[in-house]
Structures are given as C-alpha cells and as structure tokens.
Chain A
C-alpha cells in the first residue's frame, strides 16, 4: 500500500496544484478562524489574569482587596505573622502617554504604559515584588532624584529617554511629570502584558499620582524558609479579619483573586464562541466538498486499481492517508494564519474589553499549547471525517462502475431525505426546548444554537433540492442555461446542498448577531434618550466612561470644570466592578461581578426619566428619596441584575468593600444597559466613605440656561483637554458613541463571521469545480451541439448564483431563529436583559443579494474552466 502513496496520491498533488491549493486553503482557513478565535479569547483572559499577577511572581501568597485595595497601615501586622519573610505592597495602573504637540485628547489611540508602584526602599519587598518578575536592578542613589521613575528599556527606546530625563504621563490630577532614574530590562508577566511599556515608581509616588492614597492594589507575601503556606495563609487571614478595614480582604495564592477574568468577559466570549463554532461547521463543509472533488477526480483511477487487485480497504487507507496529509499541511498553515489573524484582531479585542470590562492592553495574541494542539488536530480530523462519505461512496461501487468516466447519479437522494428527517427532528427538538425554557446559560444556549444551525444544515440539501425543483420551470424560461443550471444542482443534491448549508450557516450567524445588535440598539436607543440627559460628558483618556479612563481626582477636576464659563453643574461618576453576592427568594445564593455605579443619586431622580421596573413606593423619585434618607442601608439595582439573580425590591445585595461586606436593601430596580453583569447604584458620598476612593471616571455636565453647549464644550476642550487628557462630548455625540459601543462589542465576531463566509464561498468554488468535472462530457456535448463558451459560462455562473440565492434565503430564516434564541433566551437568561427581538431586515436583504453576487463571482473560475474545455476531450470525458 505504501508503494502506491507516491505515484497515486502525491503525484496528483504535483499534477493538480490548483486543486491541492484549494483543499489546503480550505483546511487552513477553517483552522485559522478556530485558532484565532480561541487565541483571542485566551489572550484576553490570560492578559487580564496576568495584570492581576504582575509583580507578584516571587510571592507565595497575595493579600488583595478588590476594587478598594489593601490599606497600607495593615502592613506591620501582616509582616508580623509567623512565617512571613516579606510583605510587599504593589500598585499596578495603566496610564496614557501624552503624545507630542497634543493640545487635547485628539490622539484616542495614544499609547499606554503599565505603571507599577513598589516599595523600592525595602530590599526584601523589592525582591518579592520585583526580583523575579520585573527585573529591576536599582541604584538607591537614583531615588534621590525628584519624582524618580525606573523605566523599561523598550519604553525608554521608544520615547528616546535617557537617565535623568523628564517625561509625562496622565494621572489623576492631569499631566504628571517624572524623571528617569534608571533603565531596566523587563521580564515575566509584566513584560508579556505590556510588551515592555512599563514604568516602576516608588510606592508613595505612585499612590500620590494615581491614588487612592494609603491603599495598595495588593500585597505580595513571601515565606520564610521552611514556613508552611497554609499555616501562614491562616495567620494572615486572622490578622486581616481582626484589623479595622480588613474584613473585605482576601488571602490567596497569586492569581487566584476574586476577579475571574473569564467570567468577566461575558458577551464578548459568547460572540466569539458562536463565531468559532460556526467557523468549524462551515470549515467542515468546505473540507467535505474539497475532498469530494478529489475523490471524484480519482474515480476512474480507483476503478483501475480495484480491477488490478487493490482491495477497498487498501484504497480507503490510501485516500484517508492523503486526506490526513492535506489536513496536516492545512492545519500547520492555519495555525500560522490564525496567529496572524488573532494579532490583527487584537486591537479590536483590546478596545472592546477595555470599553466594557477592564483595562486591557494585550500586545500580542498568544497561542497556548492546547490551542496549538487542537489546531493541529482539527485539520486532519476534520479532513478525515469529511473524506469518509465521498470515499465510501466511491469504494462501494463495482470496479467497472468506478472506472466509468461518468459517475452514477441519483444515489444521494435517499441520504438527503434521511438527513433532512434528522435535521427536521433537531429543529423541532430545539424549538421545543426554546418554548419550554425561559432563559439559558451560555453552554445551554450554545447547544441550542448548534441544534438550530445543525438541524437547518441537515435540512438544507433537501430544501434546496425542493426549491430548485419549484424554480426550474421559471429558470427554464430564461433559456437552456437556466434549466441546465437548475438540473446540475438537482442531479447532485448532496453536494449542492452542502454548499448551500455552509453558506447558510455562515450568513445565518451574521444575521443572528445582527439581530442581537439591532435588538440591543433599539433598547439602548430608547434608554439613552431617557437616561442620558446631561448637556456634556467628560471623561479622561477615553471618550466614554469606561474601564480605560484615567481616574481623576473628583473634587479637583469638578472644581476646574465649574470654573469654565457656562457650566452650571458637574456630577462626578465613579464605577467599578465589585463582587456582589445575592440570595434569590428560593434561597439560591449567587456570587459574581457587578458594576458598582456611584454618583449623586439625587441627580437620577431630578434629571433622568430612567424606566423603573420595581420600586419600594412605585416611583422613581420616592425610591431615590428613600435611598437618600439612609444611603448606608439602601441602594438601587439594574433590572438585569434583579432578573439574572432572581432578586427584587426588599432583598439585599452584599457588596465586597474595603471595610468588609456591605448588605444594603434594594429599594429600586431600573432598566440599565451599562453592563451585562448588572449594576448597583450607590450614592457617591457613601461609596467614597466605604471604598475610601475620591476618584471619578467621568463627569456629567449641565450648562447654564442660555449657554450654548457646543461653545462650552469647545471652551472645556481648550482649557482642560490637554491638562487632564479630557474627552469632552456633547449629548447627541455621546448618544451616538454609546450606540457605536453596542455595535463595536461585536466587531470581532463580525470579522470572524466574514471569514466564515469567505470559507463558505471557497466551498462554492470547489462545488462548482467538482460538478463541472463530473459533467465534463455533458459540457462537451453542449459545446458540440452548438453552445458557445459564453453559454457554458452562464450555466455555471447561474448555478453559482442559485446556490448563493438559496443560501441567502435560507439564512434569512436561520438567522431569525438563531437571533430569536440569542436575544430572548441566551442574553435574557445569562444577563437578565429583557430585549425585544428586532429582525435585521436590511442585513437579511443585503446579505441575500451579496451572497448571490459573491457566489456568482466565486463561480467565475469554475465557469471559465468549463468554458475553456476542449470539445473533443470533453466528449471523451477527460
């Protein structure tokens, strides 16, 4: 058997480079999308995790306090615990760099650096915090410089900085100046996360610049020789629990803190997971088609081999070995392509994660061992799986039949009907599950979507065949090319159906995501009109209030804003993800992140018309008044938090705060789309008191009666833009930006889906090449009886367009079903948003038209090949 591999299998590769390239490209693209999506997901999660681990690599234990941080005055008690060798406080923040000649925050993509604040004067602490991870070597004399900063060599090179030179970063009080006290080579997580854009400040200076003062983000603890980690952890927990302000702190191994990045990324991961699944399904179809073309090409050869004594098993192994080889080569290429794709899409993921969840500045997508292994396995596995049906069909016929140049027809009908029955059953099952469940988790939802998409894909070949049968009389009126195009699809319903199914699934995925975006947009459009009532919005380092803002000193900046002529009032807003524990009425306790939004709640009652879903006294103002009466014991929450956690007015939500768990009563539920994790609204003074945090992410401004908001905004930009890196946005523009964020949340998903459509279109090419190959003699006859090359071309292009149009039409239905499930079950079940599903009519129409046009375009190559056939050779079936 091995002797046949070279002459039979590999020589084909050399003789038919086009077919080989198509097959390998199909595998490579399928694997690339899968790998890229997985790498993006993992990079986001890992980078967020690494930010949490930065400068704690040398530690055995970490004391951390969530958003509130760890009070520095706990340090002596922590250091006194038996077995503790050193306890090193750490501050880690991202800061935007002012770019040259920047008069305001015009450079929205200005680079950011990671700023670490470390206790540089304590050698033991420095060893724990910096020795292994950051790689700082220090000349203590350098710290005598004013505002000294140790800068990583890549950052120094990029900025052209030398020792003793000053440089600026945006901090809580605007531009802050530092002096280069030394340059070091970064390593470990810090270098990985930042790509070398890293600055180390003495702890006190870091806290002064970025705040809040008196609190570190975490404390890294190293153990004395022979100390038992569990024992030390228990000792630390006892100290923490007994200390004032220590009740909210946790003692864990590094990286095992409360913030679980994977759980935080929510809809982004949902979108990418769906994209990845669909890409796999679509890729599998393409590989099936490509392998089937390979087998079609081989039929006569297989017949001859069988006639001269090769067994079916021999030939099956030969073909599967070839498939395996194609799969392996395609996988290897796909892995590289996936890495490039992931790198290209990384900027989008960074922006999306920063906007919605947490500051993320991943510089390079990383492929972990499992992704590499899965990517390398996916191609060969998919290729071999996809090869089985065509190989079986080629080998179950007699040698004489196989050797015939015209393969037998019509065998697929029964299989198509059987698959359709399975598909219909899957769709019915999915529909039943949809009706029976009120909401679903992401895994359940993914299963539901796979059920719908898989069912539709299995049904598609039969449905396509029925549709073409119905359309044939109409197409025949267009001339013989129309009828022949329809017939070509009817003769091999399996292959045509697979292509339709692949394109339908890819396009259906786009329409499902579009439906989700349209539904969110409609809900958010209504909501922003009711909620976003300020004349002007200001935020530092990012146009919207987001996790990418530089946190500003609220009082100082508020005062500066009020000094600008025309500004009547300025409301600071602080929001932070914090752990929230709830107990549903059935007794089910749930713990997870929630967005704590702290602002002057009177503002909510006085200015906004935010929709109320539940209130202690039936209205907005009354409930707000109740909170303001006892802000230490009452809060409002968003309706999606209430729904997702099964709680309501009268229940309590327990928030983790620096001073320990806080369990205020919920007196108001309002509609809010700020976070899929849900929001808890806390009166700002109460937040400041409990979290000891005087900073703000953003400010809502109202102008004086008669003042022109545009003129006031321009004045604000001129006077404060450059100083605080302040983005100043007027109301209408801000509303538009909010909608852009909704759309932007799915940019990466769209991008991956577009690639899936590209993969499906490659499927159109392979299908048409295969059918043209099988119909070589027919095409020869057509030419012999007088068809022009143009007519042959038109036949194939019409066939392609028909494939695209059918896929577009079916996708319109599939997209609706998947979109409905996504919006009304998965998003509502997972995030608690009660959205009304909006069908994306525009995209469906455009998508259908585009699929038809692109498929016709994809048909151009096979059409040209068919048109260029030599009549005599075609008649001989060669």
Chain B
C-alpha cells in the first residue's frame, strides 16, 4: 500500500478517540472522524509483523457467538483474535446451545459475559446485537444482525476503497444486486454519506434500495441515482460493489426465481471501464461475477476479504484499550 494514501487522514487523529469497552452495533454509531481513525489504525496494524501483532492480546478471550451460519466473517474474526495472541471460544450453530432449550438471547449473553473479554455475535434477528449490548457489561461487536447491520464489513469495505482509490471523497460508486435485503449495501451507503461520493444503485424493481435509505442519503446532500441495467453505469464508476441475490431473505421463493440470475458480470463486459475500476463483493458469490473476471486487474474481492483482518484487529485492539 502507498503510505501516502493515508496522509489526508492524519488531521482528525489529533483527537483522542475513546473506543475502550465500547460496543460496535451499527455503522451509524460512528462519526466520520471515528471511522477515519479506525481505518488509520487498521493501516498501522497491517504494517506490523505477525510476531508483533501476536503479543498484543495475550491472555484475552473473545466469545464468538454465531446464531446463524457464516464462513468468512466467523473465520475472519477468529483469525484476527488469534493473530493478536488472544483465544476464541464460542459456537457456530445455535442448535448445539441452550438456545435450543429455550434460553433467551438476554440470558445467553449474561452467561457468556462471565467467560469472555469481548463478544462477537451474528444473529438472524434484526436488532439482536443492540439487545445483546444492553444485556452485556462486556463490549459487543455486531457481526451481522438479520438484514440490519454488519459494521465491520462496512469498515473493511471502506478500507478497501481507500487502499485502492487513495481517497474516499469524490468517487463514483455503484452497488449492484440485492439492495433491498442486503445489509452490506445499506451500511456502506450510509457510511459513504460522510464523504462526497456519487452513488449508483442498480437493482431489479423488487430489490430496489429501500426508500428510507434513499431519503436519508438525499437529505444528507448525496447524489444518488437508480438503475436497472448494470451496463448503464459500468463505464462511469471507480468502484463496482456487487452483491449476491440472497435466497434466504426472500419470503416467497417464486420471487427469488424471478431475479436470481438478473446480473452477471463477465470479462467481456469490462471492455470500456475506467482504468482504476475495482470490483468488490462481500462474498460469497454465486454466479453474479464470472470466474474469468478474477484474472482481470479490476477484481479485488478476495483482497477485500483479506482486509478484514487488519480492520477487525484494529477494532478489537481499540475496544480492548490497546493503543498503537
């Protein structure tokens, strides 16, 4: 990474940010300065050797509570904690827990807080992480609550944009696919409202970006436009943020069948794009990005997933009160 890319972020860092023992439930809980501070911390962590990182959280325990399936996020958090020298306890299937016996989320959290220094949780219900934070005296990091929020994904998305584009201001960014149920695009759009970007929302009519977000973005003075065809925006954008059409979020399977193959990005489709274009995706992908695109210089989704490590390490370190 070009270290100069982050020079513009140094100004707000004179403020002392207080993250120790704080929860991170929603990207909306963070100010612009706090977001920039965390991205700068991630950049510092990324520059550390593995050996240096490994000594930072010796003896600390992270509880990893995954009430619904996850591969990437769960492994990324575990890898982040273990890379800092800490330990991870938890579960990735609520069927093996007392929740199956009828234990409430509140009680589960009150129990787990006795065993861990920080709690990372994913839950299928919207708002579950906020409730957990009210129950817990230990900090909670939301690793996804239903269709609502996934703030560390947003931070790593912002980190990826900053790394590849050198800035967060003034970019043309398209979000494509499931904009209705996709929590990553909701959170990313709201986070980008701190920066002067042009947002292009590309979705079929039944998966449009919800009005609540469009209204809020416009209220904040953002330039946003809606499109049905990806080709209408491909040549204009610096970042193409693709998403999976999420079958599990559709109440009616027939509706999923109508839209499941609506967008497919191919190498041929990338002939007239900006040279600095980067294609991102929160993963997993199904078929919305051809594997042939992986070989182009525009593909960035796997590096994007890798950026989750320094970003989550920076966040955990801040929450645990470790100053870099």
Chain A partners chain B: no
B residues within 8 Å of A by Cβ? none
A residues within 8 Å of B by Cβ? none
